[in-house]
Chain A
Amino acid sequence: DTGVSQDPRHKITKRGQNVTFRCDPISEHNRLYWYRQTLGQGPEFLTYFQNEAQLEKSRLLSDRFSAERPKGSFSTLEIQRTEQGDSAMYLCASSLGREFGEKLFFGSGTQLSVL
């Protein structure tokens, strides 16, 4: 168990560029989440995968955001045509999905800065 790994840790991009983030969850975890966190705020739900199926995508996400989890393993989050408002910490979490006692294991996040 090496924990949830996210890459890159930091990304600086110019407005209008596309960016892609990767998340490697804990290997036996079937649930995978993406959250966004801005300074001074709590994590905000973006999307959820049960194995390879994306079961929910937040209405806060525009069509510029897309996420995948091929074969129920790693996941990618892509943002197209980035805007300054996309600047945030993007957190990935995974879990085994117990009814009670569920523990989300978060990665250290990818800090995105859009100039």
Chain B
Amino acid sequence: QQQVKQSPQSLIVQKGGISIINCAYENTAFDYFPWYQQFPGKGPALLIAIRPDVSEKKEGRFTISFNKSAKQFSLHIMDSQPGDSATYFCAARQGTYKYIFGTGTRLKVLA
């Protein structure tokens, strides 16, 4: 299936710092790009999402930056907190319902 490449695999950030996770895709037919947050023992939960005709979307401390020409998008977590420690997945929607997920980034925010 079509890939969504995610980096880094893991990330350690000091409390109050900025966490940045990057994703890249190849299929220009992808039309919706959500980010999911997953805590151990739980299913992923939607964090924030963006359409490809928008370059940036901000919700609280979370921002998605989207570069359509480069086929890249990233998640920025401002003022990172220990409670943000989780695994983050980018995803892309193919067609009207099929989501392709990245391999995940394990974020640890040090107190």
Do A and B actually bind? yes
Residues of A within 8 A of B (CB): 4, 31, 33, 35, 40-45, 48, 50, 55-56, 58, 60, 91, 93, 97, 99-109
Query: Is there an interface contact between B43 and A48, defined as CB atoms closer than 8 Å?
Result: no
If over half of A's interface residues share one DSSP class (helix, strand or loop), that class is named, otherwise mixed; here it is loop
Ordered by A's residue number, 30 sampled pairs between the chains whose C-beta atoms are within 8 Å are A33-B97, A41-B103, A41-B104, A42-B6, A42-B91, A42-B104, A43-B89, A43-B99, A45-B1, A50-B97, A58-B1, A97-B97, A99-B96, A100-B32, A100-B51, A101-B49, A102-B32, A102-B34, A102-B93, A103-B46, A104-B34, A104-B36, A104-B44, A104-B99, A106-B36, A106-B42, A106-B44, A107-B43, A108-B42, A108-B43
Extra inter-chain contacts (5) besides given A48-B97, A48-B98, A104-B99, CB under 8 Å: A42-B91, A42-B104, A45-B98, A55-B97, A58-B1
User: Size range of the interface on B?
Assistant: 20 to 34
Q: CA–CA, A50 to B51, complex, Å?
A: 23
Q: CA–CA, A44 to B41, complex, Å?
A: 17
Query: Is there an interface contact between A106 and B101, defined as CB atoms closer than 8 Å?
Result: no
Residues on the B chain within 8 Å of A58, using CB:
1
Q: CA–CA, A50 to B32, complex, Å?
A: 19
A56 and B43 contact, Cβ closer than 8 Å, known pairs A40-B103, A43-B89, A100-B32: no
A56 and B104 contact, Cβ closer than 8 Å, known pairs A102-B32, A106-B43, A106-B45: no
A24, chain B: closest CB distance, angstroms: 13
Chain A residue with minimal CB distance to B45? A106
What 1/0 flags go to B44-86 for Cβ under 8 Å of A? 1110010100000000000000000000000000000000000
Query: Is there an interface contact between B42 and A45, defined as CB atoms closer than 8 Å?
Result: no
Q: CA–CA, A30 to B51, complex, Å?
A: 22
Residues of B within 8 A of A (CB): 1, 6, 32, 34, 36, 41-46, 49, 51, 89, 91, 93, 96-104
Residues on the A chain within 8 Å of B1, using CB:
45, 58, 60
Chain A residue with minimal CB distance to B100? A45
6 closest pairs, A vs B, by CB? Answer: A106-B43, A42-B101, A103-B46, A43-B101, A42-B89, A106-B44
